[in-house]
Amino acid sequence: MTDTRPKKPSLLRRVAKGMVIVMALFVASMIALWNWPAGFQWVSVRLACFATGMDVREVTIDGHVVPYLERPAIAARAAGAELPTVLCLHGFGTSKESSFLISQMFPGHRFVAPDLPPFGQSDPESVSSYSPEQLVAYIDRFATGVSAKPALVVGTSMGGALATAYAHAHPDAVCALVLLAPAGVKAPVENEFVRSVREGGHPLRIASTEDFDRMIKLVFVHPPATPGPIRAYLVDEAITTMEARDRAADSLGAWLLEDGVTACLPSVQQPTLVLFGDGDLVIDPSCLPVFLDRMPHATGALIPGAGHVIFADAPLATRDAITVFLQSLPAGR
């Protein structure tokens, strides 16, 4: 007698069918994320956190939520002394997410990086103005709120000027400085970027994808590939916060590009590393000797083949310079 019952599919065929379904769902989810910039950005940040050991956190200070990234200390002690927390301050128009790569240059240290107003996910109303004094006070409140004192403060561009001003205003809160293409002094050589600002321009303003692409070429010697959804997210964020960004540019522009921190440089007693890229089109590398000549405990270097975003254009050279600097610090710094 012939068996007319339907045959069950083999295990191999069932597995293959399951894999096809999983792949179809994965492709569908990727397509959905690709067309949802905010969702793509959220996933990208979480993947970067996973890769670097960071977490997205929040702290409430004076009634305002301050978003920040944190990586706990990996090596709790070195030479019998605790490693200081690294407090990373981003540049104008960027956010805490720019610190992912920087965090890998400080292995072992606890690492924290806040969004500075009005950028990233910060509350634009968390400061009464975008003056240097208000932002330095904001940084100090944050450092207190997350127990990051004394800190090894890292600052890029605008963040470098603010780090210097913070070390001057709160010397006990800072044990050392790493300044990457810092603003805050008048460049001996005036470049096209500074001339544009002097003439009333906003060369870092992003109001379109074309502006974003122009800005990327301005700050990088080796522009990174930016996925379309992240590009769209960053452009949308810049447009949404354009009014606050323009107010920040008006408040900080002269301070950042003239002599904002020049007068306080001799009083900064903390060990300091200053790095510039030789291809920087934003803060001219002629600023390097201004810092080195006026800061009593500063060392520095010009990084070849790097633009304004030194740590991305030349990550190995930047890491090596930072490693040598860290090794030179007394135990506990």
Topology given in CATH for the domain delimited by 56-328 = Rossmann fold (3.40.50)
Task: Pull the structure tokens for residue 29.
Answer: 């989810």
pLDDT tens digits, one per residue of 281-332: 999 999 999 999 999 999 999 999 999 999 999 999 999 999 999 999 987 5
Residue 126 · residue 120 · CB < 8 Å: no
Mean pLDDT of the chain: 88
pLDDT for res 38: 74
Structure confidence by residue, pLDDT tens digits, 112-155: 999 999 999 999 889 999 999 999 999 999 999 999 999 999 99
- The model's pTM is 0.88
**Among the listed residues 214, 218, 213, 211, the one whose alpha carbon sits nearest the alpha carbon of residue 192:** 218
* Cβ contacts of 37 within 8 Å, gap of 6 or more: 229, 230, 232, 233, 236
Q: Residue 49 to residues 69, 83, 85: CA-CA distances in angstroms?
A: 9, 21, 18
Q: Give pLDDT tens digits for 190-204.
A: 999 999 998 888 899
Q: Sorting pLDDT into bands at 50, 70 and 90, what band is 25?
A: very low
